[in-house]
Structure 1
Amino acid sequence: MEQDGTELLNEVRLVGRVSAEPERREMPSGDELWTLRVVVPRPEVAGARRQVDALECVAWAARPRRSVGGWHEGDLVEVEGRLRRRFYTAAGARASRVEVEVLRGRVIRRARTGRAPRAVASAGTTSP
């Protein structure tokens, strides 16, 4: 999409560690999703403590759900997607959250073995 000759886009690429086991959730609508948090270190600043960003990610579509469902705490992963703001009702009040909608993802290195996965699927995802 363009506006005034400038390409408008919403693209996110993260490379980081899965901070806890991804969670499968079923929404009141019946939709299934997987949620996870990817921790990415910030660039080092001389004299400052090392900082990280813990970013909420959600996989709605079938292919990314299959990928994320095979990930584990500590896995080094690459996530591609877009930033989304989702609105919902919690305890009778309207609320929102910003999260990365996972469109593609892959394991770079498994936490438990320290090795890269053997098989890579054609869509840029790895099989668990």
Structure 2
Amino acid sequence: MTEPQHHNQVALTGRVSGTPEARTLPSGDEIVTFRLVVRRTRPRRGTARSAQTVDTIECVAWTSRLRRTCARLPDGAIVSVTGELRRRFQRASGSAQSWYAVELTTCSRSPTAQ
């Protein structure tokens, strides 16, 4: 019996929220991060679990080309991104935090960008 193929691929289109942030990690790696606000699709009638209408998703650019592209994104720009979902961990004040981020493979302004 063969093991099923695993698949981790994300494609999103949404609005950049705030100014992208360039950082140098303790390892010396440089990244650019930004938040992408994506509207939720309307649930089928009777299946709504939350009144929330959007999700805010952290996006991370690692390659120099993507860092340059993402660093120039203005607040409110409509962009399409692809990448892989990654779980991140951080220790702060003695407690551990975790969250998910999209590690980008592409990022482009939407033709309908404002």
Query: Same fold by TM-score, threshold 0.5 exceeded?
Result: yes
Query: RCO greater where, 1 or 2, for CA within 8 Å and sep 6 or more?
Result: 2
Per-residue deviation, 1:50: 6.7
1:1-128 map, 5 Å: 4=2, 6-45=4-43, 51-109=53-111, 114=114
CA RMSD across the alignment: 2.4
Per-residue deviation, 1:93: 4.3
Question: In the TM superposition, what whole-angstrom CA distance separates every residue of 1:78-108 from its partner, at most 9, and x where no partner exists?
Answer: 0100001123333354433211101111011
CA distance in 2: counterparts of 1:65 and 1:40, whole angstroms: 21
Q: TM-score, normalised by structure 2?
A: 0.81
Q: TM-score, normalised by structure 1?
A: 0.73
**Identity of counterpart residues, as a percentage?**
43
Per-residue deviation, 1:28: 1.8
CA distance in 1: counterparts of 2:66 and 2:76, whole angstroms: 18
| Unpaired stretches in structure 2, ≥5 consecutive residues | none
Per-residue deviation, 1:8: 1.0
CA contact (8 A) 1:26 1:33 kept: yes
The ranges of structure 1 where at least 4 consecutive aligned residues each deviate by more than 6 angstroms after the TM superposition are: none
| Unpaired stretches in structure 1, ≥5 consecutive residues | 115-128
Task: Call closer, same or farther: CA 1:5–1:93 in 2, change over 3 Å.
Answer: closer
Q: How many residues align?
A: 110
**One-letter code aligned to 2:41:** P
**One-letter code aligned to 1:23:** E
